[in-house]
Structure 1
């Protein structure tokens, strides 16, 4: 489940160092290439709505196999495209395949664990997810050193193929037959509407969603900030990316250990305060004109560490009361969070500046919104 969840970050992060090469290779602009990332995130968000009901009707395994097949085919197509419009289209198709790796693992975990243990399991998933952002840009940078940016998509297709073999041969079905939900438009609509009206579910989901939006703003904006503004060489970009990803990994594992003595609510409350403090500090330093690469990295590492606590605990709390509709709940949670992330990615690609203000400004906004919805959810508990 961890490797399947890592497929999405792989497709997001691995081609980040290739942005300048894609601009040159396809004869386009940096903004258009950044929008291929935002398009991927929008596709990832919308596709999850469809996987949820199918996972509750046909089980966890068949939709996962279908998603991996789509991901592999779209990755191959991305590698053969010759203009930015087709690359954007195939990135959306790639997202429709990769979305299965987000929805299904969360449902599988909740099939097997209660809220506290689900928080621990989701924290362990973040260990695998966190390693991917470290390795993916480094691997993408090395591919560029020896070949074309098209080779990056070939590696994505190969990873999807290996995971497909693993799912077919080793994964067991975890959906209890007694919890199968019939597939009908009225039932699907009723379940999604009930979730949208569920105050705690929505607030915990948006608390995690706006935290994730900050992460996607960082992912989308970091190539421009590091490479163009602070003049970091593309081959070293992955190392800076790795420092922040390491912060996320370490914090998520500390969160898992602390759950033995503290509740998910207590950890979420503290982490969201830290999230706001670190991002507002970065924004103030930027507005004061004293931000440099070292100070920015300190603020980013603090933000990522805080998110290592926020994401797994908010997700587990959101799914706590959704035992009979875990598929659609996981799907809606993923959709809303990805829509937040895609909106942040689109905003940072449209906000052109010669400073780090678009990045630090959006991070601060996302952190404050995450804190606000977290407060509402915790008061409603």
Structure 2
């Protein structure tokens, strides 16, 4: 999550204590160009592409390295762990050192990690490489959004972020298909070669096209005591913690599907790598559609009302999915349709509980945003290997997804429904 100050300006939680509004570069008055959208979109998608492109290869990697499904899913958890920790580290550094230096270092870490993955002799080495891939990708994701707020102002910021979100949303639609296509030509190591090449392209764009968007006079000193104190306050707030954990449960439900889908669809239902990529992309489309429909629903209902309806529907759909998956005659089509609707409920849950959590502490929005993101990726990293431990089957996916959504429902329904939590999203 991106650190944001109460006035909408992006700052790190470490510097909030000494925060002062800063002057903007002259580029704020310009409309975003297509080249800038593509450049920043390339930065923002480095993480999602690293997660999704190698999903079709998980069974092949496990077979070659003699690793179980749960062990393979630890490599996914490692990437999520890196993305979560990276958000807490890179944001403060970019506010203190400027945007480009942490960005370039992060992309170089990502490239080095991809190279290590290509030559990984064991599953342990591959897991380490995936952690550092996540760390490097976190730098690109956080700083790309920070640059948007540095370079643009007013309505242009919202327009730019909306366009970037569409680019980010396309990653899970296209990356598995690209990974499956690569596997028809070379083995799984070729996927990491391509990821390394994408990293090199991203580095070249960062070096020679993107400007340093944070002037020296606007940079902030690091203040570790301030951030630790703010985090303690946030974690001590029952409502913030509940909504943040509910968002993490939503992410956990999604990564239950992401981590187990390749095994369930390919090994249980017999799909090939290309067919799996198509089915996975259709599932990702449910998440995108739900998040877009949610914008229109917010004109009539509050975020909490929508989130409550989403977890209620998700729990019912998930229970049906568990029942279907536990029977021997559950077909691929029926399983896929029910999962599609279950993913859709997650698309309604996540943005609304995020908004509810961030609305509780407007003066600490930066710290709240960073902590929210870390909790989400942390829970996602924790749940991914659980699906593998349960066998990586369709039933395992159904149980894990439904459990996460049911936990989110418990967190939401046990909180008082006061006015602060009834705020709408503008």
Q: Which interval holds the TM-score relative to the shorter structure? A: 0.7 to 0.9
CA shift digits 1:71-119 (9 cap, x unpaired): 12211221122222211111111111112244445666788899xx97x
Superposed counterparts of 1:30-45, under 5 Å: 30-45=69-84
- Distance in 2 separating the partners of 1:303 and 1:122: 27
CA shift digits 1:127-170 (9 cap, x unpaired): 33332112111100110101121121122122223333444523
- Distance in 2 separating the partners of 1:181 and 1:306: 40
Is 2:257 aligned against 1:222? no
CA shift digits 1:326-352 (9 cap, x unpaired): 443332212111111111101112122
Change (3 A) 1:76 1:205: same
Larger-Rg structure: 2
- Distance in 2 separating the partners of 1:17 and 1:59: 38
Aligned to 1:196: 235
Q: Confirm or deny: 8 A CA contact 1:60 1:175 kept in the other structure.
A: no
Aligned to 2:20: none
Q: Confirm or deny: 8 A CA contact 2:70 2:385 kept in the other structure.
A: no
Q: Confirm or deny: 8 A CA contact 2:59 2:262 kept in the other structure.
A: no
Q: Confirm or deny: 8 A CA contact 2:179 2:191 kept in the other structure.
A: yes
SS at match of 2:417: helix
Deviation at 1:219, TM superposition (A): 0.7
Is 2:408 aligned against 1:370? yes
SS at match of 1:146: coil
- Distance in 1 separating the partners of 2:215 and 2:390: 44
Aligned to 1:308: 347
Among candidates 88, 108, 114, match of residue 69 of structure 1: 108
Root mean square deviation of aligned Cα: 3.1
SS at match of 2:221: coil
Q: Confirm or deny: 8 A CA contact 2:98 2:212 kept in the other structure.
A: no
- Distance in 1 separating the partners of 2:346 and 2:182: 30
- Distance in 2 separating the partners of 1:272 and 1:56: 37
- Distance in 2 separating the partners of 1:109 and 1:320: 22
Change (3 A) 1:60 1:321: farther
Change (3 A) 1:90 1:181: same
- Considering fraction of residues, name the structure with more helix: 1
Is 2:401 aligned against 1:346? no
- Distance in 1 separating the partners of 2:285 and 2:112: 31
Aligned to 1:20: 59
Aligned to 1:277: 316
Deviation at 1:68, TM superposition (A): 1.9
Deviation at 1:171, TM superposition (A): 5.6
Deviation at 1:262, TM superposition (A): 4.4
Aligned to 1:293: 332
SS at match of 2:290: helix
Aligned to 2:396: 358
Superposed counterparts of 1:318-329, under 5 Å: 318-322=357-361, 325-329=364-368
Aligned to 1:379: 417
Aligned to 2:202: 163
- Distance in 1 separating the partners of 2:108 and 2:169: 24
- Distance in 1 separating the partners of 2:317 and 2:62: 33
Q: Which runs of 5+ in 2 are unaligned?
A: 1-39, 422-426
Q: Which runs of 5+ in 1 are unaligned?
A: none
SS at match of 1:99: helix
Superposed counterparts of 1:93-132, under 5 Å: 93-104=132-143, 125-132=164-171
SS at match of 2:345: helix
CA shift digits 1:164-188 (9 cap, x unpaired): 344452366379977x653133222
Superposed counterparts of 1:227-246, under 5 Å: 227-246=266-285
- For these two proteins, the number of residue pairs brought into alignment is 376
TM-score by length of 2: 0.78
Q: Confirm or deny: 8 A CA contact 2:253 2:346 kept in the other structure.
A: no
- Distance in 2 separating the partners of 1:284 and 1:102: 39
- Distance in 1 separating the partners of 2:254 and 2:92: 28
Change (3 A) 1:24 1:356: closer
